[in-house]
Amino acid sequence: MSVVDFVPTWSGQSASAEISTGGSVLAWTVTVDDPANDNAETVKHEVPIPAVHPSNPLSFLTSMRVRRTSPIYFEVEGNYGIDLTGDKGEDPINRPVVVTLPPSVSFSSSEEPVDTDAAGVALRNINGEGFDPPPTQEFNDLILNFEKNVATIDYTEFSELKSAVCNTGFYGFAAGKPRCIDINAKPAQEGEFIFYKQTAVIAIREPLADTPAAKTWWRRLIHEGFYEKIGGKIVRALDEEGEPMTKPVLLDATSGARITDPALAQWHYSRKYREIDFDAYNLI
């Protein structure tokens, strides 16, 4: 599993330079020998992309792009930015991460359907029926912006992070509460240093009263249906007169038996977003 061929294809001025002082692009065709296992990450880690433009010692690699064109062929592009100042100064990459909560504290508000009250009791009417349309509640999520200078960016990682939930503790918040609602990067240059200003926007949500923190962002549905389990068999739920129920009955999440007390309603949880470890990414 490796790269077996690495051939330059073209180079030239970029149509819209990523760096304000101008830029250029180098490109290569890459051939691999194990298409079932070789992927963009294989190419990214094995191809010898030069850190400095071969014909311009002041033009540095700012980002790279890997694109598969067939099972064994990839195209690799390297973006290079030119330093016109010659002023070395401090490498911006070495600056610490800036965490902002603009202006001092920021919240993102949204109105979303809810199925319990503040104490975690199911919202049902006197006969155990749900409300249609379902009631809504305002959610106010704490917003944190992590600003960091980085040498390169990985578009694949950005795609993985967008909308994902952190499944480990992150920045003092329990697993399941942080979600990446945005991540972006803008090219910049200071002296000979060409880099990206990266910003990750993380929303912190507090779970409903009866929801574990790890399932804060999960979808939840009440266990109910037109069938119930009696004596180990799933049968049609009947009313007091032995007729099929015309509304769903509440169900026990373990046994499948009917629940008659609306206050004892139980929930089915399912993931809405990808769950990953934020510490595996270059955020802080």
What are the residues whose beta carbons fall under 8 Å from the beta carbon of 250, sequence distance 6 or more? 128, 222, 223, 224, 258, 259, 260, 262, 264, 265, 266
The model's pLDDT over 50-80, given as tens digits with 9 standing for 90+, comes to: 888 888 777 778 888 888 888 889 898 888 8
Nearest to 117 by CA among 262, 258, 247: 262
The model's pLDDT over 174-200, given as tens digits with 9 standing for 90+, comes to: 999 999 999 999 998 887 788 899 999
Phi and psi of 45, rounded to 5°? -85, -15
Mean of all residue pLDDT scores within the chain: 82
- Residue 16 clears pLDDT 50, i.e. is over it: no
Does the predicted model carry a pTM greater than 0.85? no
> Which pairing describes strands 275-276 and 249-251: parallel, antiparallel, or unpaired?
unpaired
What are the residues whose beta carbons fall under 8 Å from the beta carbon of 235, sequence distance 6 or more? 227, 228, 229
More confident residue, 24 or 83: 24
What are the residues whose beta carbons fall under 8 Å from the beta carbon of 264, sequence distance 6 or more? 250
Q: Is 241 left (phi over 0), alpha (psi -120 to 50) or beta?
A: alpha
Which letter, b or e, does each residue of 70-105 get, where b requires 16 or more Cβ atoms within 10 Å of its Cβ? Answer: eeeebebbbbbbbbeeeeeeeebeeeeeeeeeeeee
Tokens of 117: 């009250």
In the three-class reduction of DSSP (H, G, I as helix; E, B as strand; rest coil), residue 154 is classed as coil
What span, in angstroms and rounded, lies between the C-alpha atoms of 149 and 132?
49
What span, in angstroms and rounded, lies between the C-alpha atoms of 109 and 252?
34
Q: What is the pLDDT of residue 88?
A: 54
For 4-7, the CB contacts below 8 A with 24+ separation are: 4/31, 4/32, 4/33, 5/29, 5/30, 5/31, 6/30, 6/31, 6/47, 6/48
Name, of 8-12, 114-118, 188-192, the range with top average pLDDT: 188-192
Nearest to 31 by CA among 83, 61, 68, 85: 68
Residue indicated by tokens 């690495």: 6
What's CA 141's distance to the chain center, in Å?
Answer: 16
Q: What is the pLDDT of residue 104?
A: 41
List Cα–Cα distances, 43 to 36, 61, 65, in angstroms.
13, 17, 10
In the three-class reduction of DSSP (H, G, I as helix; E, B as strand; rest coil), residue 258 is classed as strand
Residue indicated by tokens 């240093």: 193
Q: What is the pLDDT of residue 163?
A: 93
